[in-house]
Every structure is written in C-alpha cells, then in structure tokens.
C-alpha cells in the first residue's frame, strides 16, 4: 500500500524548503473497545470503535550518516454515536533532530510535523456535529525512544514549558478551523492545570489568545463537560473520560476502588470541581510538577457550541434503552457473562468491508483496547436486551451507524501499513525495547524497527521520502527606535582604593541581545554612595 498522497502533500507544503525527512505512517484496524465514559451501575457501556495512528519521522541516510528516527507521535481515534475523539497518546523525540538540517529561526520540524499530522487526521472527521481533540501534557525524560535521554541533543522541556508548547502547537490547528459565516463553525480550546487558578492557567495560553475578543475567547480555563457528556446530571464518575496511561483515569480507578454506590457516587469526591481540586494532590500533579489537560472542541454547523445531549435525537432514545435495561442487568459482570453465553463477541465489520474481526488478540499497552474478557463495548443487542425488541432494534441501529460513520472517516487517513491489534502491539513493543542511546545504536534500532514492520505485514515497502517546499524567510529585526537601556546595578561592594578602580571598570555589556530591550550591567566599582547632608 502506498503512503497517503494527502499526508505527503501536506508535509511537503508545511516543511521549510530543502528539509529532508522520511515519514512512516501506520494505523491499526478498527476494533471494539471500552467506552471512554463509565456507564451507570448495572448499565451498558456506549458502543465505541477505536483505531490507532502512529507517525515516525527519520533523518534520511545520506553520505556517511545512517538513517535515524528523530520523532514519533501516536494518536488514538475513538468513534461513538455522537462523538469523535482524537487522543494524543504519546509524542517523543530521540535527540537527533539536528540531523534534519533546518535553518535556525524557522519553525521547528517537530512542531510542524505535529500540527500537520493532527490536522490531517482531524480534517475528514469534521463532518460530524462534535469532534474533540484531547491530550494531557506531562514532562518525562522519554516516552517512545528508550535511552534517548542520554543523547546530548535531546532537550526535555519542563512541565510548564511543555504545556505552553502544546498550547502553541495546537493553537495552529484551532485557528485553521475558526468561526466562519458560511457555513458556521465553532471551535474553542479548554485547559485545566490542577493546582493552578485561572490567572495562573492563562499564562499557559498561546500569545494569539490575547487578540481574541473577551466576549468570545478561543481559550478557556474550564473542563467543557456539557460538550463531552450527554447527561451532565450524572455523578462525576460518569462525566470524565478514561484514556490509556492517563493520570486522571488512574485517579478515577482509585476512587472506584474506594467506594461506588448504586447511583455511581463516590464516598469522598462529590462534584467535578472537587475532582479537579483533588487531582492537584495526585503524585503526577504534585511535588512541584504540573500536568496540563487540554481539549479542543470543534462544532461544525454551529455558531455557538451546542450541548452534546441536544445534538442527536438518538441520544435520548439510547438513554431510555439503558434505563430500561437496568432491571435485567444487575452488574456489568453478569451482562458480560450473558453475552459470552450467546457467543456474540467481537464480531465487528471492518471499515473497508473486508470481513469481520473475530477473537481479537490482547492489544498493545499503548492502545486502549483491553483483554477480550473485559471488553464491554459489545453490540448492545447482545447485552441482555434480547427480551426487548425495541431496545434491540435501537442498539443495532446505533452500532450500524457508528460503523458507517467510522468507515467514512477512516478511509481517507489509513496508514501506509494497516496492522491488526496483535501486529500493532508487537511493533510497539519492539520500539519500546530498542536502544537509542548514541547514534550507532539509534541507527541500528531504526533499521530493526522498520524491518519488523515489513516482516509483520509481509510488505516490501514502508516509508516515503519528503522534501519540504515551503518558502520561508528568516525573521528579521523590525526597524524601530532602540529602546532606552536599563541600568541594572548588581553586586554592590565596598569602595576600593583609588589605584585599583581602573582595573575594575568594565564597559557596559549587552545581556541577551535577542531580547526586546537591552540591559546594561554597570560594574560595581563605579557605584558611588550618596553624600550625606
């Protein structure tokens, strides 16, 4: 299979002229997975389909330099009846980005590839009434490239810098899909940094946010629950999504282990505000560390965001079905046992009509898919609803609609290689077992990982060379009157003897010549005490 021309074209147009990279895009087959939002006790999970996308970028082999992976990003896409969610699962650099010879002062290759790939996956899915891009920013030495922290060229951003970086990068995507009059389109970004108040959180917003009207800001310090959940009257347990390797998902699990009553309420945390406040005391968000939770909301065809519950009449119908089924399904375990007895597990048609996925293998740790015995996003008609003809019909209709929607969305963005869940897990495991500490080891690991992908898929070609063709000019200093220098007096010391003064007088030095205002440091030797009197 050839790489998507659309992705290749987009990367060529976005990358600076003469920048050479090689791109490796692969995706997984669509599979049934756990719902993002927990169902009510005794209720059924929302039918959810997921596929994974992985893009790796390398510096091509040239002259005496071997090919080395320099950056990779993984994005999971969840599709339900009313919502499409893109979740940025992982992103990491190997410390060899300098091998991609881009001119200084121009946008970085990493940020350009990231925003381009996100928008590439987002675009075909904007035909839905609600699309969400979600991620959490947590600073860590290495995510995808073991040993890469030992490379001197790897610059690990601290927690604050990382949150700001993601806000700037995704703001570019947000601005591409801003409000338009015909057709209407509403988009906004929402950031929560546990432990930071609104003023502190605004400091993470991108510079462009300062130009937005205060009456309709693009960036908000809030969790947009009414835009993500169909019934906001439920307990907090059912209003926060659970993503893989997600700090808040681990907190949700811990709270579930403590206590959950028959209405889904926890013993300790009663409201969403309390949940986010308690998040700031979690290990991932405490001890001087910050974690940023970010949501970009896209609402095509809407001048203002409409609450999710009002977007589709099937939502109300599905909620009614769930309520009717509570009596016959006292616990999720019982409903799964009944489903097993009916023998209707994991028979989900492929998006391209290529048959059925049967007996799914255990998925990769980087994927949200769980062991087959824990999958609860099965066809609703197979989960204790056989005694209710209307409920069964509604569930089948919902599932068919999800599969049709997913097929339309995913057909335009398939990877150059498409793997099943077992193959995807194997390939990700191989990457996480490689060694990228040093150029020779990184080159060998790169070669081995590419070879493994070809072996697993029985393909002969993987990867496409891309040469940027975007003409960008080097940023120049604007012509303006020089700012008046600021005298900074530092390290005041006692006056020395006159014969030593000349040795300590130093010409004023400019500190940080790239800053907007020049700062002059005056030697302490020329500081004079003010005469008395």
Q: Give me the chain's average pLDDT, please.
A: 77
Tens digit of each residue's pLDDT (9 = 90 or more) over 87-126 = 999 999 999 988 887 777 778 899 999 999 999 999 999 9
Q: Is the pLDDT of residue 61 over 70?
A: yes
Question: Which of residues 26 and 392 earns the better pLDDT score?
Answer: 26
Cα 239 to Cα 265: distance, rounded to the nearest angstrom: 11
Would you call 472 helix, strand, or coil by DSSP?
coil
φ/ψ of 447, rounded to 5, equals -60, -40
Tens digit of each residue's pLDDT (9 = 90 or more) over 237-246 = 999 999 998 9
Instruction: Report the pLDDT value the prediction gives residue 289, as an integer from 0 to 100.
Output: 81
Q: Where are the alpha helices (DSSP H) in 241-331?
A: 247-258, 272-279, 313-325
Contact 415, 54 (CB under 8 A): yes
Nearest of 141, 134, 23 to residue 93 by alpha carbon: 141
Tens digit of each residue's pLDDT (9 = 90 or more) over 295-327 = 999 998 888 899 998 885 444 444 444 334 333
Q: Is 246 a catalytic residue?
A: yes
pLDDT over 70 percentage in the chain:
70
Token output for 325: 């089924």
Query: Is 0.85 topped by the overall pTM?
Result: no
Instruction: Report the pLDDT value the prediction gives residue 312, as an integer from 0 to 100.
Output: 59
Would you call 227 helix, strand, or coil by DSSP?
helix
Catalytic position from the list 92, 119, 159, 246: 246
Instruction: Report the pLDDT value the prediction gives residue 481, as an integer from 0 to 100.
Output: 43
Which pLDDT band, with edges at 50, 70 and 90, does 472 fall under? confident
Contact 396, 382 (CB under 8 A): no
Question: Which of residues 531 and 423 earns the better pLDDT score?
Answer: 423
Nearest-10 Cα torsion for 422, 426, 429, 435: -170
Nearest of 454, 459, 433 to residue 445 by alpha carbon: 433
Contact 56, 100 (CB under 8 A): no
pLDDT over 90 percentage in the chain:
51
Question: Which of residues 520 and 336 earns the better pLDDT score?
Answer: 520
Token output for 214: 């205060």
Q: Is the pLDDT of residue 5 over 80?
A: no
Cα 117 to Cα 388: distance, rounded to the nearest angstrom: 44
Which pLDDT band, with edges at 50, 70 and 90, does 208 fall under? very high
Place of tokens 């190997």: 94
């Amino acid at each position: 299979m050839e790489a998507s021309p659309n992705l290749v074209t987009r990367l060529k147009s976005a990358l600076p002229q003469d920048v050479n990279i090689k791109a490796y895009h692969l995706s997984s087959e669509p599979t049934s997975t756990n719902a993002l939002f927990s169902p009510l006790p005794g209720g059924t999970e929302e039918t959810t389909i997921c596929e994974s996308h992985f893009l790796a970028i390398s510096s091509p082999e040239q002259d005496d330099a071997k090919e080395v992976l320099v950056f990779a990003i993984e994005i999971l896409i969840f599709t339900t009846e009313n919502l499409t969610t893109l979740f940025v699962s992982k992103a990491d650099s190997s410390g060899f980005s300098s091998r991609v010879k881009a001119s200084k002062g121009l946008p970085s290759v990493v940020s350009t590839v990231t925003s381009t790939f996100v928008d590439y996956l987002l675009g075909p899915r904007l035909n839905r009434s609600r699309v969400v891009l979600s991620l959490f920013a947590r600073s860590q030495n290495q995510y995808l490239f073991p040993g890469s922290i030992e490379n001197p060229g790897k610059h690990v951003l601290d927690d604050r810098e990382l949150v700001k970086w993601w806000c700037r990068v995704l703001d570019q995507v947000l601005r591409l899909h801003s409000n338009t009059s015909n057709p209407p389109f509403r988009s906004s970004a929402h950031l929560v940094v546990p432990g930071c108040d609104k003023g502190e959180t605004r400091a993470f917003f991108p510079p462009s946010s300062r130009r937005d009207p205060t009456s309709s800001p693009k960036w908000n310090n809030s969790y947009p629950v009414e835009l993500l959940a169909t019934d906001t009257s439920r307990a907090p347990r059912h209003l926060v999504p659970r993503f893989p390797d997600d700090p808040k998902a681990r907190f949700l699990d811990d709270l579930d282990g403590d206590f959950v009553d028959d209405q889904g309420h926890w013993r300790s945390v009663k409201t969403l505000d309390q949940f986010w406040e308690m998040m700031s005391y979690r290990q991932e968000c405490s001890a001087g560390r910050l974690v940023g939770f970010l949501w970009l909301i896209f609402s095509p065809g809407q001048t203002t965001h409409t609450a999710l519950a009002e977007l589709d009449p099937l939502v109300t119908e599905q909620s009614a079905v769930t309520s009717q089924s509570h009596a016959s399904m006292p616990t999720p375990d019982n409903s799964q046992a009944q489903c097993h007895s009916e023998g209707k597990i994991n028979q989900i048609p492929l998006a391209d009509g290529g048959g059925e996925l049967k007996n799914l293998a255990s998925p990769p740790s980087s994927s949200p898919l769980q062991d087959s015995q824990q999958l609860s996003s099965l066809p609703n008609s197979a989960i204790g609803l056989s005694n209710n003809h209307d409920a069964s019909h509604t569930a089948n209709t919902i599932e068919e609609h999800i599969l049709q929607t997913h097929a339309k969305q995913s057909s335009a963005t398939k990877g150059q290689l498409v793997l099943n869940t077992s193959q995807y897990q194997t390939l990700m495991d191989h990457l996480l077992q490689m060694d990228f500490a040093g150029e020779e080891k990184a080159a060998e690991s790169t070669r081995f990982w590419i070879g493994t992908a070809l072996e697993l898929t029985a393909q002969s070609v993987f990867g496409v060379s891309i040469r940027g063709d975007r003409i960008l000019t080097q940023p120049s200093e604007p012509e303006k009157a020089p700012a008046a220098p600021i005298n900074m007096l530092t390290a005041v010391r006692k006056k020395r003897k006159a014969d030593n003064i000349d040795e300590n007088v130093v010409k004023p030095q400019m500190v940080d010549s790239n800053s907007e205002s020049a700062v002059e440091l005056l030697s302490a030797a020329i500081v004079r005490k003010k005469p008395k009197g």
